[in-house]
Amino acid sequence: MRHYPAFLDIEGRPCLVVGGGAAALAKVRLLGRAGAAVTAVAPSFDDDIRALGKGGGVTLVQRAFRDDDVQGHALVHAASADAALDEAVACAAGAENIPVNVVDRPALSSFVMPAIVDRGAIVVGISSGGASPVLARRVRAEIEMLLPHGLGRLAGFAHKFRSAVRATFADFETRLRFWENFFDGPLAEAVLQGGEMQARSEMLALINRAQLPPAGELTVLEVDPLEADLLTLRDVRRIARADVLIHGGAIVPAILDHARRDAVRIELAPGGTKIKIVTTAHLRAGKRIVQLMARGQTAHAALSAV
């Protein structure tokens, strides 16, 4: 991973775009969607940017760029399509320690722009680190097909009940189980389909029942230890939901990376004898355990006895 992924809160913050053409327009629109206070500087502007300026979506400064234009801004986009000018913008922003992105020139940029899947509150960024923006856009298209357009609506619905769930379920594990059951269940599907009014009353009833987390479960998955691409979608989902992931040393990291970052990972040592005790404790605590086996191997004896 060459670049550190992060999402910046720029709502209401001043951001600068240098340029007046199509590339600048794309940056102005994106910053506007994030709620930034956008200023664009260029000797001339395309009609679409002028229209945004008339509508109050961007402040237009029609003149040549000056180095001190970057001062006071949270971030800067150099999008003039003039190589020398864009480099000058990058230098000016760098001198002020202001994050700067230069269109199609990652070597001059202190941050890169990902391809974006926008579902309201749910935003997915896909980056190639500037190596292949076209490939990143193709990955975005694949993800677009997988994510329903109502996902942002579902996130907003869940947000309205966060405080109630936190007040009802005191510990983190119980809250985690509640939300997993919700997102996997029919209420979430109803919200995605637009049935928020009915889902609201049913959600309140679900919270009021204050159910305890379900008993732990153990799932054994037989996988090709070297080929992450051969995992089924069902396998990926099970690994992603695991609280505890048990695996042998032959399983490649690309497969293990499907697990949550907070999941407990246990590597089976050859001839290990304590795994049964550890697994039983996790099951009693209501954990979801997934054991990954290399295809063709026999389940670990300690687990098969659990």
Question: Which tokens hold the place of 218?
Answer: 């153990």
For residue 217, give every residue at least 6 positions away whose Cβ sits within 8 Å of its Cβ, in sequence order, or none.
283, 288, 289
Largest CA distance in the chain: 76
Model confidence over 80-132: pLDDT tens digits?
Answer: 999 999 999 999 999 999 999 999 999 999 999 999 999 988 999 999 887 88
pLDDT tens sequence across 137-173: 899 998 888 888 889 999 999 999 999 999 998 888 7
34: pLDDT strictly greater than 80 = yes
- Interatomic CA distance for residues 256 and 268, integer angstroms: 14
Q: Average pLDDT for residues 167-194, to the nearest whole number? A: 86
Better pLDDT: 177 or 154: 154
Domain 14-113: top CATH class:
alpha beta
* Domain chopping of the chain, boundaries: 14-113, 114-147, 151-209, 217-304
For the chain, report the end-to-end CA distance as a whole number of angstroms: 39
Residue with the two structure tokens 């009802």? 168
Mean per-residue pLDDT over the chain, rounded = 89
Of 60 and 192, the one with more pLDDT: 60
Whole-number Å distance between alpha carbons of 201 and 213: 21
**The listed CATH number (3.30.70.20, 3.40.50.150, 1.10.760.10, 3.40.1010.10) that belongs to domain 217-304:** 3.40.1010.10
Q: Which residue has the tokens 């506007």?
A: 32
CATH 3.40.50.200 fits 151-209, yes or no: no
Count the residues in the chain: 306
The answer to whether 130 and 109 are in contact (CB under 8 A) is: yes
Q: Do domains 114-147 and 151-209 have the same CATH topology?
A: no
pLDDT, average across residues 44-51: 97
Q: In 176-253, which ranges are E strands? A: 217-223, 244-247
CATH of domain 114-147: 3.30.160
Q: Are 297 and 221 in contact (CB under 8 A)?
A: no
